[in-house]
Amino acid sequence: MKRIWLILSFVCTLATSQARELPVLPKPVQAEQGTAAMSFNLRKNAQYKNADADIQQRLNWHLQRIAAAGSKPRQLRMILAQPGEIEKYAGDFGNRWKDSLGKEGYLLIADQNNFDLIAYTETGLFYGLQTIRQLQDAGWRNAVRIADWPSFKHRQVYDDISRGPVSTVAYVKQQIERLASLKINYLSFYIEHVVQPKSHPDFAPANGKFTIEQIRELSRYAAKFHMQLVGSFQSFGHFEKILSLPQYQSMGETSTMISPIDPKAKTFLRDVIGELCDAFNAPYFNVNCDETFDLGKGRSKKYTDSVGVARFYSDHIKFLYDVVRSHGKQLMMWGDIALEHEEMLDVLPRDIIYLTWEYGVQPSFDKWIQPFAKRGLRFMACPGILNSYRMFPDMRMAYKNIETFAAAAKRAGAEGIVTTVWDEGDAYLFSGDWYGVYKAAENSWNVSSVNKNSFNERYAVNTYGETGVHYVRALDTLMEVRNVPLTYNLNNNVWRAAIAPAKGRSLILNDAGTDEVIRIATHAKAELMQVKPRRYADDINTLSIAIDAYLLMMDAKRKMPAAAALYTNAVSNKSKASLTAAMGVLEKLKNRYDALQKQFSNAWLRENQPYSLDVAMKPMTDNSNALARIMAELASQAKDLTANKDMAAAAVVGLDIKANTHTYFQYWLMSGPFATEAGGKAPLFLYGGDGAEKMPKPGDLINYKNKTYRWQKYASQSGGITNIDDFYNNAPPGVAYAFCTITAEKPLQAAAFAALPAGSEVFCNGKNLFITGKREQQPVAEEASFTLPLNAGINQVLFKIPGEPMRWSFSFRLDPLLTVTNQKHKYFVNPEKQNHEPE
């Protein structure tokens, strides 16, 4: 065998530049190709060396699942070797790598004479089988020698099932199989309320949850694939879903954070975490405890002030640590709060595993790594596949984030990679995440693999059996919409926004960029249609849905104003033809919304339980219903036209729609409504009721006149007009606060335009620019122009807007000659480079 491979290696060395990429993902650490032809078709049984009957039975189960019906199947020999035996079975090649294989590595030697899979453990043999399966599926026919082992011992995917779709048990089993084929060895879920413990069975949604027995079932199933499920439960902040239930409200420190010193809360956490620890089979348990925005602001504020926020937080972590440890588990937690208060790292137990997360593309990750590394603490790096408030995950950001964060983590001694998949927003399907998941598998197994062309080619072959890379091209093409101001950052507000106003209201549609988005989406669709998948067709369908959604919303932006113009002409000229044409435009749009709803619903239910489907469908449902309502109004108007009666104005039927190319500010941080002081005056403070003028962040609290208010993100659904009543759900009028930041590359005197209620105040960087006078009509008709003095860097803009009896709304925009992009309430004027940040 040595002699054969010496010859093959010589030939391989000569032919390296011509050798095609080995179609394996993750990319093997060491691989050599020979020139001899051979078959990778497997017989349904193997020969074994040193494997007992139980191991043989388990491996045969996998072997029979992957054995292919083909000509001249080969019999595989699987060898469980001792370290001193590697050279016996693998010669000099094995001797070179025997000290690197560890518990999960393997050697594969496949030529005309040998078909041997060698490892120190059953897990190593299992991972070698996954490589053979990929070679077999790709139709590989050349001899190979592979030595392969992981860069990180812990390779986890973390799926958010609490703020969007809740997977079915059947789909999780599919995830387990597919992830295991990529050599991922841990799977976990972000859980706020979608489990049903026996001790507290009343907080989980009826149509979206996992029972304790289902978790046990999934843990058993994962074990068959050499994978473990890591338990997780949000144990501090992000607790609003459970605290919203009357029986649990008393446990709240605030409406979003459980109280760490409340006896009922402690009993609740001890019970629930205990049950979950026992159900999930991994030796770790993640208590989360991230983004505790309300620390020091709740009902225990006096106590927190006396001991300090760091002590308050650390004491709760120690309590959770004892609970988790009593069930034989190792505590994991997100590291963001510890990074804000590094003194915690010196008082918390040293065997805590910190999960340090950052989802953007950074020049350095030291900020998120070094506080743990320099103390010799245990930590794992957590890159992200970010869906949050996007139409589709930003795979350009995810790809680079995963690759660079994993490399930095490896250099600093991280124990593993936990790749997060966040579904915060609306219409997300896990089948849209797989490209990023495969990249995570690649770099958590082989951190040094950085050739994107190689990855894309192997992804296409491995995943869909493609000879081309059409799926990847379609995906990357669609990512171009993230650079168009209208669809910047893949934001989903364009999708959620109304395409028609409520009766009696107006709607401003920004149609600048629609042609560009249609061009991009059409190109992406053409690429996608060339994919003929042999596997995983749902991935292609999910990307197709996203592309169709972009095409539909751009068409709606162009055609709704056209339908409104046709109706106006019908009213003015008693034109039946115009009325019929308007109804035709609306009907075609409605049919497309309805078809997309059906397609999306079917895709959702192939993966998920019904819970939250209505929320995901709402943009489609609302717009379809709006179109149906307007069509019914127009059908009624047709009778008036026939009877020669006066027809209603466009606002009455919901067609008061205007299109322009202005970029209106639609994203804000909002707070209030604050009750007016004596004499109808607004509160005097800018950002906080305690006199603080620190820039607000989402979730920050304001205490004013013995009442607590919160700064919350808000995205207007009414085009350029922000209807404050919609945000406050028609609460009694007071004074609304609307806040945003505007970043300028250099000082700028920007022309600004705002339509505001009488008495509104406009502030820039704390300076009151003006107070508005009386307003009579529609906001767009009464814009006041003024100069907004912007400094270089971040500028803080605040509107104080008193309520109006009939209409509480405003609009704001800058000079149309300026390029404006945004990420939520953070706006950028004439940016010299595109600035894509994780949300």
Residue 1: pLDDT band with limits 50, 70, 90: very low
Per-residue confidence (pLDDT) for residue 751, from 0 to 100: 95
Q: How confident is the model over 491-539, as pLDDT tens digits?
A: 998 999 999 998 888 888 888 899 999 999 999 999 999 999 999 999 9
Per-residue confidence (pLDDT) for residue 779, from 0 to 100: 44
Residue 638: pLDDT band with limits 50, 70, 90: confident
Instruction: Answer yes or no: is pLDDT of 361 > 80.
Output: yes
The CA distances from residue 430 to 198, 211, 462, 538, 543, in Å, are 28, 21, 18, 10, 11
Distance CA 262, CA 287 (A): 18
User: pLDDT > 70: what percent of the chain?
Assistant: 95
Structure tokens at 47: 């020969």
Instruction: Answer yes or no: is pLDDT of 776 > 60.
Output: no
367 occurs within a structural domain: yes
Q: What is the CATH number of the domain that holds 636?
A: 1.20.120
Residues 113 and 160 in one domain: no
Q: How confident is the model over 552-575, as pLDDT tens digits?
A: 999 999 999 999 999 999 988 889
Per-residue confidence (pLDDT) for residue 789, from 0 to 100: 96
Q: What is the mean pLDDT of residues 739-749?
A: 95
Residues 326 and 371 in one domain: yes
Distance CA 772, CA 403 (A): 51
Instruction: Answer yes or no: is pLDDT of 174 > 60.
Output: yes
Structure tokens at 250: 């008393």
456 occurs within a structural domain: no
Residues 20 and 58 in one domain: yes
Residue 680: pLDDT band with limits 50, 70, 90: low
Distance CA 279, CA 230 (A): 10
Residues 234 and 103 in one domain: no
| Between 50 and 14, residue with greater pLDDT | 50
469 occurs within a structural domain: no
Residues 261 and 402 in one domain: yes
Instruction: Answer yes or no: is pLDDT of 18 > 80.
Output: no
Residue 777: pLDDT band with limits 50, 70, 90: very low
Three-class secondary structure of residue 185 per DSSP: coil
Per-residue confidence (pLDDT) for residue 74, from 0 to 100: 87
Provide the domain limits for residue 280.
Answer: 154-450
| Between 380 and 485, residue with greater pLDDT | 380
Q: Which of 339-348, 494-503, 597-606, 645-654 has the lowest mean pLDDT?
A: 645-654
| Between 159 and 2, residue with greater pLDDT | 159
726 occurs within a structural domain: yes
Residues 136 and 166 in one domain: no
Per-residue confidence (pLDDT) for residue 6, from 0 to 100: 41
Q: Who's near 82: CB < 8 A, 6+ residues apart?
A: 50, 120
Residues 134 and 268 in one domain: no
User: Which among 659, 675, 706 is the end of a domain?
Assistant: 659
82 occurs within a structural domain: yes
User: Which among 611, 641, 659 is the end of a domain?
Assistant: 659
Helices 395-412 and 366-373 cross at an angle (nearest 10°) of: 30
Residues 757 and 643 in one domain: no
Residues 123 and 235 in one domain: no
Residues 404 and 328 in one domain: yes
Domains in the chain, number: 4
Residues 125 and 263 in one domain: no
Cβ count within 10 A of residue 112: 14
| Between 727 and 57, residue with greater pLDDT | 57
DSSP assignment of 297-341, as one string?
SSTTHHHHHHH-HHHHHHHHHHHHHHHHHHTT-EEEEESHHHHHS
- Torsions phi, psi of 772, nearest 5? -75, 160
Per-residue confidence (pLDDT) for residue 257, from 0 to 100: 96
836 occurs within a structural domain: no
Q: Using only C-alpha atoms, what is the Rg of the chain?
A: 30
Residues 144 and 197 in one domain: no
Task: Name the average pLDDT for the chain.
Answer: 91
Instruction: State whether the Cα torsion 724-728-734-738 is positive or negative.
Output: negative
User: Which among 634, 659, 684 is the end of a domain?
Assistant: 659
464 occurs within a structural domain: no
